[in-house]
Amino acid sequence: MIITMKAKRIVGMMLIAIAGSLIGVAVYSGLTKPKTIIVQKDTATPVQYAGYPASGYVAPDFRLAAQKSIHAVVHVKTVTNYKQYAYDNIQDWFFGNPRTFYREVPGYGSGVIISSDGYIVTNNHVIDNSNSIEVTLNDGRVVKAEIIGRDPDTDVAVIKIKGDEFPFLPFGNSADMQVGDWVLAVGNPFNLQSTVTAGIISAKGRNPGLIGSNLQNPYAQQNTDTPRSFIESLIQTDAAVNPGNSGGALVNLQGELIGINTGIASQTGSYIGYSFAIPSTIAKKVVDDILKFGEVQRVVLGIQGGTVSQELVEKKNLKVSQGAYVSDLTEDGGSYAAGIKAGDVIVAVDGKKITSFAELQEIITPHSPGDKVDITVNRDGNEKTFTVTLKTQSGSTKTVGSAEFWAYLGADLEKLSEKDLKKYNISYGVRVVKLHDGKLKSTGVPEGFIITDINKTIPVEDVQDVRSAIERHTGNRPVLLEGLMPNGRYAYFAFEK
């Protein structure tokens, strides 16, 4: 083939044009190429599921926590004998002479084994007023339990079963848990043994008014700024909790006990999206004190107040919108001695921010008498920090056990057995087993006397009820003991506290 010079020039010009175009495209691409973004991938091994592409998302694994928890959570069954009255004829009704009879009412709940030798933590409202308690273990064994101690102010109680080498859950630190963390609720809702539900922590420091008398009406409206004796700073979670879950475990993904499920706020009585648990920081303090001292060594700051609200900010011309407002102080309290004044807003404890009165309670409750805490307040827009020595409600920094009280009362007491209850036709009571020098002996109470009620309004279900009723008695009236003599006749004894 003969190629003319003209054709060569045309081909050469075409090759030059093509090369130029390629160079131009390369230069343009280099100028317009976006910056490379390096994404830091999670170093954990992703959990992949069949049918789903690899995404780098690490799914939470609940199996370890569930397996550890279900063996340590037990079913608690109680029986309560309620006293009732009936009139056999109109004459008895007219003269006020009713016939007394008792009706057995069963109750159900959950509990968590916290030691290998059978100590169990549950809710006070689960075992309150019960005449007998049975515990069903996860392996199906049914054993009797006894009450070791209880604290109505936090709704925590400790019971015990005989034996050893029980599976148990260790306490975790609820203060380390954050909103959004995964948790499991383990219990026995509707008598369905060993039920596990999952959710996240929805909020902390809630005080919905569940603890105390409102457990019978959990959706009653509460004024959260009104001081109450109940300690309520609860963990809110969306893990499903229903009747029967009370006293069960709220655990983290490591299988540590970070809360005791205590109730729900519902107008139906069943779960509607959120539930509440007592933080482990509070529950562990109560349990430790009951086992060590026989009672809770409760400390107080010596203040009254409530959570700062917008209404309070405007009314008191406060300079902060969050915190615990101090409306009054007790003269013998640690806060007054440290220099805190009415009108101050507590904004931090030991450097930890405080946004509500409930949060303040949660931080203070685990402490013991004599502990010192740094309280930061906002006073007229300026922050000041005071070191407060925590005291008991009686104004003492001394930790005391039950020995001092029983020495004062001068008596050894025991809860009546089921056999004795039937013998005397009563549903509750404690017997004076032995007398020493003290109040009861000087009052004339004999050995063998059965105390059934104190001040006509407080039923004596167990030995601790005697102490609680007498210690809380105030006023000028004497303490009135009602009960049965050893021969079965009713008698009353009264003494000045």
Catalytic position from the list 128, 151, 153, 155: 155
Catalytic position from the list 69, 202, 246, 356: 246
Catalytic position from the list 125, 128, 153, 238: 125
Three-state SS for the chain is: CCCCHHHHHHHHHHHHHHHHHHHHHHHHHHHHCCCCCCCCCCCCCCCCCCCCCCCCCCCCCCHHHHHHHHCCEEEEEEEEEEEEEECCCHHHHHCCCCEEEEEEEEEEEEEEECCCCCEEEEEHHHHCCCCEEEEECCCCCEEEEEEEEEECCCCEEEEEECCCCCCCCCECCHHHCCCCCEEEEEECHHHCCCEEEEEEEEEEEECCCCCCHHHHCCCCCCCCCCCCCCCCCEEEECCCCCCCCCCCEEECCCCCEEEEEEEECCCCCCCCCCEEEEEHHHHHHHHHHHHHHCCCCCEECCEEEEECCHHHHHHHCCCCCCCEEEEEECCCCHHHHHCCCCCCEEEEECCEECCCHHHHHHHHCCCCCCCEEEEEEEECCEEEEEEEECEECCCCCCCCCCHHHHHHHCEEEEECCHHHHHHHCCCCCEEEEEECCCHHHHHCCCCCCEEEEECCCEECCCHHHHHHHHHHCCCCCCEEEEEECCCCCEEEEEECC
Q: Is 176 a catalytic residue?
A: no
Q: Is 332 a catalytic residue?
A: no
Q: Is 155 a catalytic residue?
A: yes
Q: Which residues are catalytic?
A: 125, 155, 246
